Chains A and B, each alone.
Chain A
Amino acid sequence: MYDERHPALRRRGFLAATSLGALALAGCGTDDSDPKSGGAPKSGGRLRAAFAGGGASETLDPHLANLFADAARAKALYDKLADYGPDLSAQPRLAEKWETNKTLDRWQVTLRQATFHDGRPVTAADVLYSYRRIADPDQAFRAKASLEPIDLDASRATGQRSIEFVLKRPTAEFPNVLAAFGAYIVPEKATDFDKNPIGSGPFRFVSFAPGRSAVFRRYDDYWEGAPHLDEVEFVVANEESARVNALLGGQVEYAHELNPTTARAHEGSGQIEIVRLRNSAMQAFCMKTDRPPFDDARVRQAFFLIADRKELVDGALSGAGAVGNDLFGKGYEYYDDSLPQREQDLDKARALLKRAGAENLKVTLDTSAVAAGFTEAASIFRDQAAKAGVTVDVKMGSKDSYWADILNNGTLCCYRSGALPIEAHISQRLLTGSTTNATKWRHKDFDALYAQAQSTRDETARAAVYDRMQRRLYSEGGFLIWGFADWILGTARTVRGVEAKAPANTLDWARFDKVWLA
């Protein structure tokens, strides 16, 4: 995009792009053409970032990371072997490269030259210690399920900086495992994470008060180059209004997770910058396919046709999002965008219900105030369903146990998910053995397709298998995916280098080593 009025901006953008060329080749390219990030990076200063947090129980143990605040802090102190790019494909981080054998069940991972904050090099032993800690059967670390494909007893260090991972089965998407949420590398034998955490990340530990503040300082020897900022401070403010007020009042320079209404009120006002991370949160209704009335594919298809997606996005997300097409992962690697956009068609829906013998259908829709827009979405959908002759009874559930409650109970519920590779969405939620299979989608042939994809080396052939799975889900799956919500951040006007194309949870989201204060 050439802009006549700002040739200087464009030139700087170009310079920045070339200087990053070497890094881009290494597989961690950042797109610096965004005019907002214009200007040469300046060194120095402290950035204060406000997140919703977990109160006095917070810990800096990166393997216990559960909240966005935990993930942001862990990302500043620690590294993973890989992390997700903007399209949720795995990008090498501490792993310099990975190679697999023909059968995709042994992976050779080579580490880059990196050091922990105490000067020790990051070695294969540290990686194996970290993964074994996560997989400890007596513990319940979040990444445990993601690391499940690895046979850690058989895996071993083949050199100071090389590891051979032995897998329990062929896994073409093994790099996704290395990038999993919470799979951080800590030094061998590390146990004390709150007093003196040592990582290999871009910032080193200064101080931490659970539920209040964490201060980290630039690590000059970071393998990817020292951060521009001198210091970053994470502060915790659970109320959205408090985060916005602190940002407006100049008490913080970065506020995570804002409401669409706040964003609209301040967008273009010149006071603060609003950053929208597109395609961050999948919004859906989830139908249990193993019980009436949704065990009949025609009823599910009718529900697909009842939803007016635009109205749901406008009403439940205040317009801050894009309509969905009943498929997870819009804009992600392997997403099938060739399928026609689903539109509301009440006549066809009524006809399908009639053929399924489900006229005057009554269903209970479980919802809860657990996520923004859930209760609104439920009441909008109730009104839409009424037009097709379906009575939807909205039932409010508890906020704190919602996800566990809806896993096996009920028939229809509100659902959302953060960014995740499509492969991980399938393996965690749509296979017969998946642990969080909320749609109860259990089909041997679908499982077989997944296994086939995982044992297919050729990427094009693999993409074709993913397309087959997605067409199946599109025509008769249990997820009515009506939208993708933007993740909204606010920054002070002096903040530069905040990546706007990174969905929440990806590498460039909440990444403060690339940010500077103008």
Chain B
Amino acid sequence: MNGLRSFVARRLLLGAVQTVAVVLLVFALTEALPGDAAVALAGDQPDPARIAAIREAMRLDEPAHERLADWATGLLHGDLGTSLVSGRPVGQYIAEGFGPTLLLATLTLVLLIPLGFGLGVLAARHEGRLADRLISSVTLAVYAIPEFALGVLLVTVLALQLAWLPPTAVGYGTDLLGHPAALVLPVLVLLSRPVCSLSRLVRAGMIDALASPYVAQARRYGISGTRIRYTHALPNALAPAVQQLARTVDWLLCGVIVVEALYVIPGLGTVLLNAVAERDVPVVQGLAVMFGVLTVALNLGADLVAQRLAPRAGVAA
């Protein structure tokens, strides 16, 4: 197991370096955006004296490297800093936005795994036949629809015309569990694309595995078809699927901006969008740190799982 431990250690170190790089990059890019928080806040009243006053109140008149250093020192003490615009702690922004996003991600994932694997296995079992062709063409078609378009379509048909579901979650705030009906449409939109990519990956992996010599050998031993499929072939198809799944979770957690905007869900995507528009650098940085850590951790986990499932495939650090 020594190899695995050094692999984990190497990955963690790399992850830390990646997170620091992301944070530096985000800081540099936010600095490079035209206008700063004072300009964004002044809006259509760009009185130069007022902008200067705002800048001073926000301490934006200090050099960039000093602000970065201040912030990084705070970070080492677990302090993510305070918002330029409201003066509230960044941690509070993230904590509040995290709830709705986590809820959406969890629900999506709970449905995604059985659905994606089930469809993939089903298609692989019927390779080339009607079920396979149906699943393959529908998943390809759905994958091609942009989320925004699908979201608008679902609202129009299911919420406004048929009145089965509420069109948005407006006014529910973070209490989304109290209004489960409002979650159906966002989850459907979030589910639509990952289900397609996942089921197609599982299908391809299964078909490869079913055609492999070791499955042929297992058949010769007279092992039942079901057992071959689920204990011999599926694990082989899982490795790429798990890595894809990690990317999907990452995508879900980092706030799916379109879905949140369309259904008025105050999650991390909304926080990020507003923070960028307001040039609220500490909030953007705080989010970048969190996203960086999440991405690194999730990918590390996925690689470990993939290595256990198919050790021969090898895992690149």
CA distance A54 to B275 in the complex (A): 9
How many residues of chain B are within 8 Å of chain A by beta carbon? 53
CA distance A145 to B44 in the complex (A): 14
Which of B71-79, B233-241, B256-264, B295-303 faces chain A? Answer: B256-264
Whole-angstrom CA separation of A218 from B34 in the bound complex: 44
A245 touching B86 in the complex, CB below 8 Å, given contacts A144-B50, A407-B46: no
A55 to B279, CA, bound (A): 13
Chain B: minimal CB distance from A321 (Å)? 18
Quick check: which of A73-81, A85-93, A207-215, A284-292 contacts chain B, the rest being far away?
Answer: A207-215
Partner-binding segment picked from B5-13, B160-168, B197-205, B214-222: B160-168
Contact yes or no, B173 A246, CB < 8 A:
no
B196 at the interface (CB under 8 A from A): no
Within 8 A of A (CB), among B47-68: 47-51, 53-54, 57
Contacts of B159 in A (CB 8 A): 245, 249
Minimum distance in angstroms from B252 CB to a CB of chain A: 20
Within 8 A of B (CB), among A41-58: 48, 50, 54-58
Q: Which residues of A contact B39 (CB under 8 A)?
A: 400-401, 404
Known contacts A403-B42, A404-B39, A435-B48: A252-B96 contact under CB 8 Å: no
Among A102-110, A236-244, A474-482, the one that faces the other chain is: A236-244
Complex formed: what's the CA distance from A280 to B280 in Å? 30
Q: Are B167 and A48 in contact (CB under 8 A)?
A: no
Q: Evaluate contact between B263 and A242: CB separation under 8 angstroms.
A: yes
In the bound complex, how far is the Cα of B258 from the Cα of A179, in angstroms? 39
| Contact of A115 with B by CB under 8 A | no
Q: Which single member of B34, B44, B57 contacts A140 (CB below 8 Å)?
A: B57
Q: Which residues of B contact A55 (CB under 8 A)?
A: 270-271, 273-275, 278
A460 at the interface (CB under 8 A from B): no
- Identify A246's interface contact among B48, B54, B168, B271, CB under 8 A: B168
Q: Mark contacts of A428-439 with chain B using CB atoms, 8 A cut-off: 1 yes-contact digit, 0 otherwise.
A: 000000011000
CA distance in complex: A245, B161 (Å)? 11
> What is the size, in residues, of chain A's interface with B at 8 Å between Cβ atoms?
49
Contact assessment for A142 and B97 in the assembled complex, using a CB-CB cutoff below 8 Å: no
Of B44, B50, B152, B270, most buried by chain A (CB within 10 Å of CB) is B44
A518: shortest Cβ distance to chain B, in Å?
21
Query: Closest CB-CB distance, B210 to chain A, in whole Å?
Result: 46
Query: Is the C-beta of A491 less than 8 angstroms from some C-beta in chain B?
Result: no
A436 neighbours in B (Cβ, 8 Å)? 45-47
CA A235 to CA B266, docked complex, whole Å: 11
What is the bound-complex CA distance between A54 and B168, given in angstroms?
A: 18
In the complex, what residue of chain A is closest to B36 when comparing beta carbons? A401
Q: Which residue of B lies closest to A238 (CB)?
A: B261
Nearest to A408 among chain B residues (CB) is B48
Most central of A210, A251, A404 by chain B CB within 10 Å: A404
Q: Which residues of A contact B118 (CB under 8 A)?
A: none
Smallest CB–CB gap between B121 and chain A, Å?
37
A18 at the interface (CB under 8 A from B): no
Would A213 and B173 count as touching, CB distance under 8 A?
yes
Known: A57-B280, A242-B264, A249-B160. A235 touches B57 (CB 8 A): no
Q: Is the CB of B50 within 8 A of A140?
A: yes
Give the complex CA separation of A137 and B52 in angstroms: 11
At the interface, yes or no: B243 with Cβ under 8 Å from chain A? no
The reply to whether B86 and A66 contact each other, CB–CB distance below 8 Å, is: no
B35 is an interface residue with CB less than 8 A from chain A: yes
Asked if residues A245 and B155 are in contact (CB atoms below 8 Å), the reply is yes
Q: Does A398 reach chain B (CB closer than 8 Å)? A: yes
B83 neighbours in A (Cβ, 8 Å): 56-57
Q: Does A101 contact B (CB under 8 A)?
A: no
- Looking at B42, B88, B152, the one whose CB has the most chain A CB atoms below 10 A away is B42
Q: Is A139 an interface residue (CB 8 A)?
A: yes
Q: Point out the residues of chain A lying under 8 angstroms from B85, CB to CB.
A: 54, 57
Contacts A57-B278, A139-B57, A251-B167 given: A211-B266 contact, CB under 8 Å? Answer: yes
Kindly list chain B residues whose C-beta atoms are within 8 Å of the C-beta of A417.
44
Which residue of the partner chain B has the closest CB to A435? Answer: B47
> Which residues of B lie under 8 Å from residue A145 when comparing CB positions?
45, 47, 50
Q: Tell which of B50, B171, B275, B277 touches A435, judged by Cβ atoms closer than 8 Å.
A: B50
Q: Kindly state whether residue B41 has any CB partner on chain A within 8 Å.
A: yes
Q: Which residue of A lies closest to B258 (CB)?
A: A239
Chain B residues with CB under 8 Å of A238's CB are 261, 270
- Asked whether, in the complex, the Cβ of B35 is within 8 Å of the Cβ of A401, the reply is yes
Q: Is the CB of A56 within 8 A of B170?
A: no
Q: Which of A249, A404, A416 contacts B35 (CB 8 A)?
A: A404
With both chains docked as a complex, state the minimum distance between the C-beta of A231 and any C-beta of chain B, in angstroms: 12
Query: What CA separation (Å) do A465 and B270 show in the bound complex?
Result: 50
Contact between A66 and B264, CB atoms less than 8 A apart: no
Q: How close is B167's CB to chain A, nearest CB, in angstroms?
A: 4
Q: Is the CB of B277 within 8 A of A237?
A: no
Contact with B along A198-214 (1 / 0, CB 8 A): 00000000000111110
On whether the beta carbons of A235 and B152 are closer than 8 Å, the reply is no
Query: Which of A246, A248, A400 has the largest number of chain B CB atoms within 10 A?
Result: A400
List the B residue with the shortest CB-CB distance to A438: B46
> Is there an interface contact between B97 and A401, defined as CB atoms closer than 8 Å?
no
**B86 nearest CB neighbor, chain A only:** A57
Whether A233 lies near B171 (C-beta < 8 A) is: yes
Question: When each residue 271-309 of chain B gets 1 if its CB lies under 8 Å from chain A and 0 otherwise, what string results?
Answer: 101110111100100000000000000000000000000
Residues of A within 8 A of B86 (CB): 56-59, 210
- Are A246 and B46 CB-contacts (below 8 A) given A57-B83, A398-B35, A400-B277? no
Q: What B residues does A237 contact at CB under 8 A?
A: 168, 170, 264
Q: Pick the contact of B43 from A66, A245, A248, A252 — CB < 8 Å?
A: A66
Contacts of B278 in A (CB 8 A): 54-55, 57
The answer on a CB contact under 8 Å between A249 and B166 is yes
Write the chain A residue with the least CB distance to B94: A56
Inter-chain CA distance A405–B51, complex, in Å, is 12
- For B54, give the chain A residue with the smallest CB separation: A140
Contact between B35 and A138, CB atoms less than 8 A apart? no
The 8 Å CB contact of B160, one of A56, A140, A236, A248, is A248
Residues of chain A contacted by B279 (CB below 8 angstroms): 400
**Residues in B whose Cβ lies below 8 Å from that of A48:** 170-171
B42 to chain A: closest residue by CB = A404
Is there contact, CB below 8 Å, between A56 and B264?
A: no
**Complex interface: chain B residues within 8 A of A212 (CB):** 171, 173-174, 266
Contacts of B274 in A (CB 8 A): 54-57, 211
B33 at the interface (CB under 8 A from A): yes
Are A245 and B167 touching (Cβ within 8 A)?
A: yes
Taking the closest CB of chain B, its distance from the CB of A16, in whole angstroms, is 31
Contact A239 B46 (CB under 8 A): no
Distance (Å) between the CB of B260 and the closest chain A CB?
10
Inter-chain pairs besides A142-B50, A242-B263, A252-B170, 9 sampled, C-beta below 8 Å: A50-B170, A66-B43, A140-B50, A209-B173, A239-B262, A251-B166, A400-B34, A401-B35, A404-B51
Between A and B, 25 residue pairs with Cβ closer than 8 Å are A54-B274, A55-B275, A56-B97, A56-B270, A56-B274, A57-B86, A57-B278, A139-B57, A144-B50, A145-B45, A209-B173, A211-B270, A212-B173, A212-B266, A233-B171, A235-B264, A241-B262, A242-B170, A242-B263, A246-B168, A248-B160, A251-B170, A401-B34, A404-B51, A435-B47
Give the 5 A-B residue pairs with the shortest CB-CB distance, closest first: A401-B35, A55-B274, A249-B167, A435-B47, A245-B167
Which A residues fall within an 8 A CB radius of B?
48, 50, 54-59, 66, 137-140, 142, 144-145, 209-213, 233, 235-239, 241-243, 245-246, 248-249, 251-252, 397-401, 403-405, 407, 416-417, 435-436
